[in-house]
Amino acid sequence: MSFPPLYFTSFVFWSLQQLVNTHQIYTQPSIGISRAHSNFTSSSEASFRFEAFDPGSGSKRLLCSLDASFWEVCTSPYSVSDLGEGTHRLKVRETDQFNNSVLQEEEVSWIIDSTPPVVTFTLGPEAVIHETHTTFSFEVIDYPLQSSSGVADISCWLNHLKLEECHSPLTLTQLAEQANVLQIQAEDRAGNVGYSIAYRWKVQPRPIPKLTGPQMGKCGRRFVVRIVWSTPVEGFNSEKVHLDGNKSKIFEWQEDEGKQLYVATIETSGGFLLVKVPEDAATSLQNVSSASSNTLRFYCDTESPTVSIQAKPVLGTSNIAVSFFWSEPVSEFLSGKIQLSDPQARLYHQWKNSTLGTHYSAMVYPIAVGPFWIQVEAGAAKDEVGNSNDISVVEEIFARGGHIATLSAAGDVSVYEPSLSKRLSHWNIQSEGRLAFFPNGNLAVSEFRGTTIKVYNMFGKLMRVIDGFVSVEDITVSGSGRLFVCDAGSGRLHSLSNAFALDAVENVSLSWSGGESRCAMTTDNDGLLYVALGADDSISVYNSQLDLQYTFTLRECCDIGCNPSAIEINHRKQLYLSCTDEPHTSVHLLPEIVSFGDPYWKVNGNNENEAHSRLQNNKDKIVLSSKMELNRTSFSGQYNIISLASDNSGTIYAADGGKSGLLLSRHGDGFKFQELGEVIVDIAILQDRQNPYCDVLDYDGGTEKSSEFSMIASCTEAVDFDATCISVQGAGGSISQLQSLDYKNYSFTVSPSAVGIIEISIKPYCVVDSAGNYNSRQSNVVKVQYYGGRCMKELNCRWELAKYEHQLAESRLRLSAALEAEKQRAKVSVQEAAEDARLKRRLQAEEEAHRRELQAKQRMAEIEAAIVKQKAEAEAEGRIKEARQNEDLNLRQLQMAAEARTKTILAAISAVADYMRAGIMSLVDEPRLMQTFLIAFGTAAAMFFLFREASRVFVNEIARLLRKPPLVRETNRSLFRGWVGAIMDWLPLIRNPSTGHREVSKLFGDVILEGKTYGEVEELAQSIAASSSRGSPLRNVLLWGPPGTGKTMAARRLAKGCGMGYAIMNGGDVVPLGKDAVTELHSIFDWAERSTQGVLLFIDEADAFLRRRKPGDGNSSTSEHMRSAINAVLSRTGSQSRKFMMVLASNRPEDLDSAVIDRIDDAIHFPLPGLAEREAMLRLYFAKVICPIHIRSTLRMMFAPFEKIFHFMRIWHTNPTVKLTGFKQDTF
């Protein structure tokens, strides 16, 4: 039977439409409800609209139920009226033409509230208050309580002005003195506005006094307190002011006419003081009692400030830095109240009279050298409360000077700061000459070979003129201020005291008559005068009265023969001598004339008594003995040195007659030139040239002691004193409790060590003053007879002396033995240190050689790499060049091939067109053939459309049955895995039934779990495998524990080890589906039941949608959908299945619904891994990822030759794993 093509096609389309309609019969309709009002309303009417959609058969009718009434047919829009207050609910149900209805109705609820809220005051002020602030409390109730919509807004008005904040409690501040009213009104969420309530009261503030006084809470003997009232008052007087202090009273009382300001002058004897005005001290003009005032707390200082002075010299200058430390902050510190002992000295400061502080600094520029005092007079400053100092304070310091004076060839005299840092003054004397500084800062200047000596101050003012000389060759001044003059014209040496009287001068004749030889002079710190005469090549030493002390020749002592042009001796008794040796000038540093000990001189002869006798008679020349001979220091050059000078720092200044500046040498290290812009012929330095001297005084009195006793060291000036400077000889003893009394006098305690005579003195060259001068002489020797203990001389206890001497001898022997042992230990220690140093140097040398070898190898590797790189670059450049040359040829070949392909395609198209043209022409010519062609073409088209539609329906149905549900994130099931896969999975079990259990054990071999958990999982796997093999029902399991503990991995291994398929889904994916969640869950369970091998359905984060259902949560549409989802899961797992098992994973198992927990057959806890499990996981990670077995074997072969160099590779050579130590469980 055949059909025409058109009818056949229509039949096919009709059949497919019926299939589609039959499939849509089972699609359920859905409903949506919208309303025109909110959840809360005051209206008794309501209107709703429905939106229904059924993709299958279409809507049939709607059923409505209001407040649980009977269902009735309704249409959209739907309106209700005459509703009472309370909660109302409307449910809507819809059915289609196939009688399909929704499983649960759509519901909407709302509340009708037509009663406004009520406001009630619960707390408020009295009718009249005296404060400018108050607090209210109120309560707002929205009736009826059972169906209230709740309070939405509360508004407050104060004196008809709306407040920004309105809540209970409500605090109002800064209220005016007037009648006030507070109004409150409330509105609920249904729009009902309540009645406004009002609260009225009156403010009459009390007068409030405010006290102000001296700042910072400090006061003096008298101070002022101001009392300011907020309003005028009456009845207030000084007796109403409360004073709580030590002998305090109101000395003076003042008040203004407005009766608001009162001033009290209070007098106190000092200490803490409280001032306060109590309550009811006055009344306002309206007869309202006053309030209490604030309390002023003072500390009244009635003591005068005191000051201490600290003065320190500034290094490198002659300046003195002075610090004034006051006992408390002071101001108005007047510099005019600071007195200086040197009238020429100047004081500079930067503070002002208004400066307030405790520490003031100033700089003093003294002129003279020697003791210098600074005095702060009484009344120099005031403290914060006006007390001034009433005591004068004096501080004494030694002015070191250090100024340098130079005389140029043109007669210019210049005075510089120490170290030539700054020129202070400058004047001209019209000719060259000689210079010498007096200790007071004045400068003696003589013209060369002149007849007078002029004395100037440091700034060029002429102070005195000394005449009467014939031809002055050289001048010098001692530390005591005595002026020595070498007169070449008379051949005499003069010594002038401070009187400068030439008729009273002491003089002595010299064996020298001038001429070409020079007379050079200098003085040391002991006041001795050294005179070098070039005529006889000798140096003579005189005291201040020009008594010859001794003479020594330069050739005999030092092998020097010269015509001295300049001589200088420093504070350490080192003598510098400038000799003119053509064509150069040499400067010689002679041995110390006096060493740090007693002087030792040798006279021509060996008798010591004769030597002393001749020394006193001043007849023979004295030379240094070989015992005192030291290496002299000499340096020479192209110099013409005509003057030498030294300072206490050890610097030598030399004047070169041919250079415009000075030559400087520190500690004899050669000269360095400093430019001054003028040729210098003489130099003088202002400095302290007097040595300190100390004496020992008996503090207790008496020369016989029976216990420890005290002594005093008294010095001529402030010195730096140490206990080591005290010599205790004789019976011996120790020094303790050394204390400075005023830096000139020191007290100390002597603890005798034995019975006998104890000699106490101050060592020479041990005590030093601020200028660096040492005491050159030993002090007096104080002898004390010590008897020991309580034994006195009259008891004749001489036996104790022998006993103590014996003990002293024993202690000395023990000390000697201990010193010898210590010496041997030190020697051994030195030898061991030397051996260690030798070994260390050897190891360092080996390491250096090894490092250099490695560097050479690394360099060779870098060179080889560079060669390979250059070779590769050359080859690449060659290939690029060759490609560029062949580029044109390749392009022409491609063009020819494209043209050939184009011709071939055009020919084929032409042939096909010719063939089709011939066929069409043949059909047109033969009508019967044309009819046959049309019938065949229609039949083929109908068969094509029929087959296509049937295939589409068939494929969709198969996909619906076998496709993966959308909620499944991961599975090992596929479309083509069915019975064939099941047979392949079960073949090993058929051959060997015990294989399954062995495979289960192997699957968990590389899973690191806690011991108990591992056993439970392995037991569960074996149970599931056994149930699956026997076809027994499968159990549902709960895996719970913290995230990342292996729950998902364990579920996969369970499915694989038991021969089942697995599907993984997440509970969080169910919540967003809403009402579609039920359909998707049913599709998952249907898909699982169609499995031939069984499915393990793993639900991660199951608590996301299987959460416990709580009473009263039905008002939320979302929770209603989740309730439906829970019911769907419960309905599909109500009985045990042989097709699937459900495995839930949760971090919070306590949140799961109780019905879901009833479906669980077994639960396994996955705790956090312990220290052993974490170490095992790290080992597994290292073995599988970082260094697998095949990589370790390869590394051993590669680095075997370099094992000695890269010793850290031994970890792979000896042990394939890494040992981890030092980890704690709480670290992770």
Q: What is the pLDDT of residues 406-428, one digit of tens each?
A: 988 888 999 888 777 788 888 98
Domains 26-112 and 961-1167 share a fold: no
Is residue 692 predicted with pLDDT exceeding 90? no
Say whether domain 307-399 belongs to CATH 2.60.40: yes
Higher pLDDT, 1164 or 512: 1164
CA–CA distance, 1145 with 1051 (Å, rounded to integer): 9
* For residues 638-648, average pLDDT: 77
Q: Is the distance from CB of 170 to CB of 123 less than 8 angstroms?
A: no
pTM: 0.42
Start-end of H helices in 57-119: none
Least confident of 170-179, 555-564, 1090-1099: 555-564
Domain 117-203 falls in which CATH fold?
Answer: Immunoglobulin-like (2.60.40)
Does an H or E element contain 993, and which? Answer: none
pLDDT of residue 633: 42
Question: Which pair of structure tokens corresponds to residue 638?
Answer: 């192209």
- pLDDT digit string (tens) for 982-991? 445 444 444 4
Of 790 and 300, more confident: 300
Q: Considering the chain, what is the average pLDDT of its residues?
A: 77
Looking at residues 1045-1063, what average pLDDT do you find? Answer: 81
Tell me the pLDDT tens digit for each residue of 245-274: 777 888 788 888 777 888 888 888 778 888
pLDDT, residue 1206, reads 46
H-helix or E-strand containing 1158? helix 1154-1158
Task: Check whether the bond before 1072 is cis (ω within 30° of 0).
Answer: no
The predicted structure's pLDDT at residue 600: 31
* Cα–Cα distance measured from residue 878 to residue 871, given in angstroms and rounded to the nearest whole number: 11
Amino acid 620: pLDDT: 32
Predicted local confidence at residue 1058, as pLDDT? 75
Q: What is the CA radius of gyration of the chain?
A: 61
User: Mind spelling out the 3-state secondary structure of 369-433?
Assistant: CEEEEEEECCCCCEECCCCECCCCEEEEEEECEEEEEEEECCCEEEEECHHHCCEEEEEECCCCE
Distance (Å, whole) CA 818 – CA 830: 18
Q: Which fold has domain 209-300?
A: Immunoglobulin-like (2.60.40)
The fold for domain 694-795 equals Immunoglobulin-like (2.60.40)
The ranges assigned to domains in the chain are: 26-112, 117-203, 209-300, 307-399, 401-687, 694-795, 961-1167, 1176-1227
Average pLDDT of the residues in 858-875:
87
Cα separation, 439 vs 705, whole angstroms: 44
For residues 918 and 724, the model is more confident at 724
- Determine the pLDDT at residue 726: 92
Look at residue 135 in the predicted model and tell me its pLDDT: 93
Min mean pLDDT across 220-224, 234-238, 657-661, 1090-1094 is at: 657-661
Whether pLDDT at 624 is above 50 = no
Which whole number is the average pLDDT over 502-508? 59
| Strand-pair partners of 749 | 710, 736
Q: Does 289 score more than 90 pLDDT?
A: no
Superfamily, domain 961-1167? P-loop containing nucleotide triphosphate hydrolases (3.40.50.300)
Phi-psi region of 676 (alpha: psi -120 to 50; beta: other; left: phi over 0): alpha
Query: Count of CB atoms within 10 A of residue 1142's CB?
Result: 25
The predicted pLDDT at position 610 comes to 43
pLDDT, residue 25, reads 36
- Confidence at 694, pLDDT banded by 50, 70, 90: very high
Percent of the chain with pLDDT over 90: 6
The amino acid at residue 73 is V
Give yes or no for residue 864 having a pLDDT over 90. no
Residue type, 989: L
pLDDT at 12 over 50: no
What average pLDDT does the segment 999-1004 reach?
Answer: 61
151 secondary structure, DSSP code: E
Report in angstroms the alpha-carbon separations of 38 from 33, 43, 65, 146, 926.
Answer: 13, 11, 20, 19, 81
Average pLDDT in the 44-69 region?
73
Cβ atoms of 619 and 604 within 8 Å: the answer is no
- Residue 634 amino acid letter: S
Token pair, residue 149, equals: 């919509």
| CATH T-level fold of 401-687 | Neuraminidase (2.120.10)
* pLDDT for the residue numbered 53: 57
Q: Which among 289, 231, 284 has a CA at the least distance from the CA of 260?
A: 231
The residue ranking higher by pLDDT, 613 or 648, is 648
CA distance 941 to 1060: 47
CA-closest candidate to residue 783, choices 838, 733, 833 = 733
Inform me whether the pLDDT recorded for 961 exceeds 80. no
- How confident is the model over 799-821, as a mean pLDDT? 76
pLDDT band for position 358 (50/70/90)? confident
Pick the CATH number of 26-112 from 3.30.1490.20, 1.10.3720.10, 2.60.40.10, 1.10.10.60: 2.60.40.10
Model confidence band, residue 398 (pLDDT cutoffs 50, 70, 90): low
Do the bridges between strand 1162-1165 and strand 1037-1040 make them parallel or antiparallel, or are there none, so unpaired? parallel
